[in-house]
Amino acid sequence: MKLINKLWLGLGILIILSPLGLILPEHFKAGSAWGEWGVGEIQKLAGYIPKGLDKFSHLWSAPLPDYAFRGGEGESVLVLSLSYILSAVIGVFICIGVVFILGKFLSKK
């Protein structure tokens, strides 16, 4: 098997496994996935909001909050899992596109 095929296979497996970030915290009653906390959740966990986070938290909002499409936040785990997978596919294509464009731009003489 060629190296590129192994890389695509590995990437596909990671995409398929992406809903584990949704399923495992729910299964273990752990709240949100580690590191995906909002300002309010950090306030609850740490007891305060770091100044830098408080200052810059309004600058960016995710294009797909919680990896779900609008109106899909209260759906079943199956629907949310499909949203996770679709979000992963979209993210992979965006990253590949950016790298491809940068490669074309930087390789011109």
pLDDT digit string, tens, across residues 67-87: 777 776 677 878 888 888 888
User: Looking at the predicted structure, is the pLDDT value of residue 91 above 80?
Assistant: yes
- Provide the whole-model pTM: 0.67
What average pLDDT score do residues 85-105 get? 91
Look at the chain and count its residues: 109
CA distances in angstroms from 108 to 66, 95, 97, 105, listed in the order given? 39, 20, 17, 6
Render pLDDT for 28-70 as a digit per residue (tens, 0 to 9): 887 777 777 788 888 988 999 999 988 988 887 777 766 777 7
User: Helix (H, G, I), strand (E, B), or coil: what is residue 18?
Assistant: coil
| pLDDT on residue 31 | 74
